[in-house]
């Protein structure tokens, strides 16, 4: 889509903004409201924050005739004004036709009065022909019909109003709460557990429905639903659950284990869809919030699939129940798994299996930190918290990674390698602190800021360097991470005429100890100098040996 294109509302779009029932889909309405004939496509995307959503919505709105490019929109508005003017002129000409006929002069007294005139006055010709009056009997018949009609219409409206009042009164004052035990039993049977209901009553806005509120799932409150909205309370009274084909849930709090057991759900065969708003899914106290979506059912009352997404569409889940668990198809665009402060997956595609107490991501492919990360991941919460994973890294931005995990480390380059990690703990914060990982790392086209190893080697024995930077073409190392330290072993740095071999250890307090042999190659021979590295990240000291 042309990013410089400017859209404006058409008359239909302007009317749709005032009437919320014409464009009800959230994304379309959000974009339609922002279209003002001044902002370009690029500016709309920047203002809303999601270019794909904006472009898709603009296409749908343009196809529906709600918006148009500014030049076309102006012509549409002018066409509407011209049609309105034509209608006014046409109406004026029709009504003015009765008064446009010429009034004939008075008949001379000597002319005989017509015997067919109702009022005893002569009917004078306006042209060469006489205008016939309607026969008096027809006029009298119409008058008799008009006299009798108001009474019949009033009686009909009164009867209809009384019927509507009785139906509404029955629906409103019916003691639904007396059926609470039956509803709790039916919900418990459908959900496969204990269910407690707070209250049952009728709501009229935005449409008449039966509201079941404050629903508690499980004997220990493992989940909750703020509100369940069932449409057509009158139909439920007459035909029961056989008339129920959809319902809406709001304020839903569920555990991941509930999704894993979706295959056990059983609902009335007539139910086809359950809409969900404001849902959260929790694992050991950590939740994914602001979810919405729907659950679709088969004709036998079993779940077909569930489609769930965050409000901003940064994460989308399609859940398909199976006897082994729930199959997950995951898509992410700018998704931050740990909230606004966490790093974002620019793009994510993953498939997994959710079971009771366990999530297995069988494979994932993501764009992360400017590079690509592929692999698998396991999370088990059946007995504490345990995770394990492996990933293949390609072209990750080392500067962004360092700024996130070790801000004091000033290291640039494109990172590639194979990562393996594992951890276990009783709670989430400890789980991340206990991570043990190994990485066969390779950095290319990088810079290590804080010390100049080449300058130390050139100066000779006993020389001290406290600043500078070391550029390199490649840097390879076996990196080990555990709760106590970070170690880079078999470190090999290649900068052309300068090379370095050695190892480096960094403790949790950021203190560093390293031993290297730095080689400087000349046209005659190669000079090798031992170098010791010490201090703290950001304040390193390099001393050449004798």
* Domain identity same for 301 and 415: no
* Domain identity same for 147 and 261: no
* Domain identity same for 158 and 189: no
Which residue blocks in 215-277 are alpha helix, DSSP H?
233-239, 256-260
Q: Is residue 507 one of the residues assigned to a domain?
A: yes
What's the mean pLDDT in 371-387?
94
Six token digits for residue 251: 């304020």
Six token digits for residue 121: 């006055």
Domain end, chosen from 353, 380, 407, is at 380
* Domain identity same for 398 and 438: yes
Q: Is residue 99 one of the residues assigned to a domain?
A: no
Q: What is the structure's pLDDT at 489?
A: 94
CA distances from 19 to 15, 27, 29, 395, 537 (A): 6, 16, 11, 50, 61
- Positive or negative torsion for Cα 397, 403, 406, 408: positive
Q: What is the structure's pLDDT at 491?
A: 95
- Whole-number average pLDDT of the chain: 79
CA distances from 7 to 61, 65, 69, 398, 507 (A): 10, 12, 4, 42, 58
Q: Which of 97-101, 315-319, 334-338 has the highest mean predicted lDDT (pLDDT)? A: 315-319
Helix (H, G, I), strand (E, B) or coil at 153: helix
Q: How far apart are CA 454 and CA 450, in angstroms?
A: 13
What's the mean pLDDT in 40-68?
86
* Domain identity same for 230 and 353: yes
User: First-to-last CA distance in the chain?
Assistant: 66
Q: What is the structure's pLDDT at 112?
A: 43
* Domain identity same for 363 and 412: no
Least confident range from 133-147, 202-216, 482-496: namely 133-147
Domain end, chosen from 355, 380, 405, is at 380
Phi, psi values for residue 312, rounded to 5°:
-85, 5
Q: How far apart are CA 213 and CA 291, in angstroms?
A: 19
Q: What is the structure's pLDDT at 75?
A: 62
Of 319, 377, 306, 316, give the one whose Cα is nearest residue 348: 316
Least confident range from 28-42, 137-151, 351-365: namely 137-151
Least confident range from 109-118, 247-256, 270-279: namely 109-118
Six token digits for residue 122: 């002569």
pLDDT for 322-366, tens place per residue?
989 999 999 999 998 877 778 899 999 999 999 999 999 999 999
Q: Is residue 448 one of the residues assigned to a domain?
A: yes
* Domain identity same for 352 and 211: yes
- For the cut 60, the answer to whether the pLDDT of residue 382 exceeds it is yes
- For the cut 70, the answer to whether the pLDDT of residue 77 exceeds it is no
Q: What is the structure's pLDDT at 287?
A: 85
Is the CB of residue 438 less than 8 Å from the CB of residue 397?
A: no
Least confident range from 134-138, 294-298, 359-363: namely 134-138
Question: Which pTM does this prediction carry?
Answer: 0.64
**Element holding 425 (H helix, E strand):** strand 411-425
Is the CB of residue 235 less than 8 Å from the CB of residue 243?
A: yes
- For the cut 90, the answer to whether the pLDDT of residue 515 exceeds it is yes
Structural domain total, the chain: 4
Q: Is residue 96 one of the residues assigned to a domain?
A: no
Q: Is residue 25 one of the residues assigned to a domain?
A: yes
Q: Is residue 122 one of the residues assigned to a domain?
A: no
80 pLDDT band, cuts 50/70/90, is low
Q: What is the residue range of 213's domain?
A: 181-380
Q: What is the structure's pLDDT at 153?
A: 63
- For the cut 80, the answer to whether the pLDDT of residue 111 exceeds it is no
Q: What is the structure's pLDDT at 166?
A: 56
Q: Is residue 129 one of the residues assigned to a domain?
A: no
Q: What is the structure's pLDDT at 22?
A: 66
* Domain identity same for 319 and 296: yes
71 pLDDT band, cuts 50/70/90, is low
486-500 b/e (C-beta count within 10 Å ≥ 16 → b): bbbeebebebeebbb
Is the CB of residue 325 less than 8 Å from the CB of residue 355?
A: yes
* Domain identity same for 220 and 148: no
Higher per-residue confidence, 387 vs 245: 387
* Domain identity same for 258 and 373: yes
What's the mean pLDDT in 276-302?
89
* Domain identity same for 450 and 504: yes
* Domain identity same for 233 and 305: yes
Phi, psi values for residue 61, rounded to 5°:
-70, -35
Q: Is residue 270 one of the residues assigned to a domain?
A: yes
Domain end, chosen from 28, 45, 74, is at 74
Is the CB of residue 210 less than 8 Å from the CB of residue 172?
A: no
- In the numeric block, the tokens 């009065």 are attached to 113
- Positive or negative torsion for Cα 302, 305, 309, 315: positive
CA distances from 178 to 139, 171, 351 (A): 62, 14, 46
């Amino acid at each position: 889509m042309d990013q410089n294109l400017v859209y404006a509302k058409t008359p239909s779009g302007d009317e749709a903004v005032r009437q919320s029932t014409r464009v009800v889909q959230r994304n379309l309405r959000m974009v339609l409201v922002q279209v003002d004939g001044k902002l370009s496509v690029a500016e709309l995307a920047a203002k809303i924050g999601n270019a794909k959503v904006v472009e898709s919505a603009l296409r749908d709105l343009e196809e529906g005739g709600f918006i148009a490019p500014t030049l076309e929109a102006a012509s549409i508005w002018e066409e509407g004004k011209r049609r309105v003017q034509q209608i006014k002129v046409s109406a004026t000409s029709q009504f003015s036709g009765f008064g446009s006929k010429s009034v004939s002069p008075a008949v001379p007294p000597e002319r005989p009065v017509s015997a067919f005139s109702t009022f005893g006055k002569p009917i004078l010709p306006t042209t060469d022909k006489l205008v016939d009056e309607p026969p008096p009997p027809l006029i009298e018949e119409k008058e008799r019909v008009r006299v009798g009609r108001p009474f019949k219409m009033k009686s009909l409206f009164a009867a209809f109003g009384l019927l509507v009042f009785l139906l509404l009164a029955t629906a409103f004052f019916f003691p639904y709460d007396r059926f609470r035990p039956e509803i709790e039993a039916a919900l418990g049977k459908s959900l496969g557990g204990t269910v407690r209901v707070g209250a049952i009553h009728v709501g009229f806005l935005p449409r008449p429905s039966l509201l079941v509120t404050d629903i508690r799932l499980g004997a220990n409150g493992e989940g909750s639903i703020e509100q369940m909205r069932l449409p057509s309370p009158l139909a439920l009274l007459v035909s029961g659950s056989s008339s129920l084909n959809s319902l809406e849930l709001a304020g839903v709090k569920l555990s991941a284990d509930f999704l894993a057991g979706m295959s056990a759900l059983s609902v009335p065969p007539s139910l086809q869809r359950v809409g969900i708003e404001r849902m959260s899914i929790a694992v050991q106290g950590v939740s994914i919030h602001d979810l919405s979506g729907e659950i679709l059912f088969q004709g036998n009352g079993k779940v077909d699939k569930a489609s769930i997404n965050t409000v901003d569409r940064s994460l989308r889940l399609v859940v398909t129940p199976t006897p082994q668990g729930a199959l997950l198809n995951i898509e992410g665009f700018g998704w931050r798994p740990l909230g606004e402060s966490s790093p974002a997956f620019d793009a994510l595609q993953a498939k997994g299996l959710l079971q009771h107490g366990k999530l297995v991501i069988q494979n994932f492919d993501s764009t992360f930190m400017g590079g690509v990360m592929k692999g698998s991941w396991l999370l088990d919460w059946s007995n504490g918290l345990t995770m394990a994973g492996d990933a293949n890294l390609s072209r990750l931005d080392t500067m962004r990674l360092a700024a996130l995990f070790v801000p004091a480390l000033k290291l640039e380059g494109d990172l590639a390698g194979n990562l393996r990690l594992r951890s276990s703990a009783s709670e989430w914060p400890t789980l991340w602190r206990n991570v043990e990982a190994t990485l066969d790392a390779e950095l290319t086209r990088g810079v290590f800021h804080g010390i100049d190893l080449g300058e130390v080697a050139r100066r000779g024995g006993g020389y001290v360097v406290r600043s500078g930077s070391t550029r390199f073409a490649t840097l390879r190392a076996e990196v080990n991470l555990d709760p106590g330290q970070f170690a880079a072993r078999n470190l090999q740095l290649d900068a052309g005429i300068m090379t370095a071999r050695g190892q480096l250890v960094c403790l949790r307090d950021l203190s560093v100890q390293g031993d290297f042999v730095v080689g400087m190659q000349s046209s005659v021979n190669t000079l090798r100098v031992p170098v010791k590295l010490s201090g703290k990240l950001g304040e390193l000291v390099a001393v050449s040996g004798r």
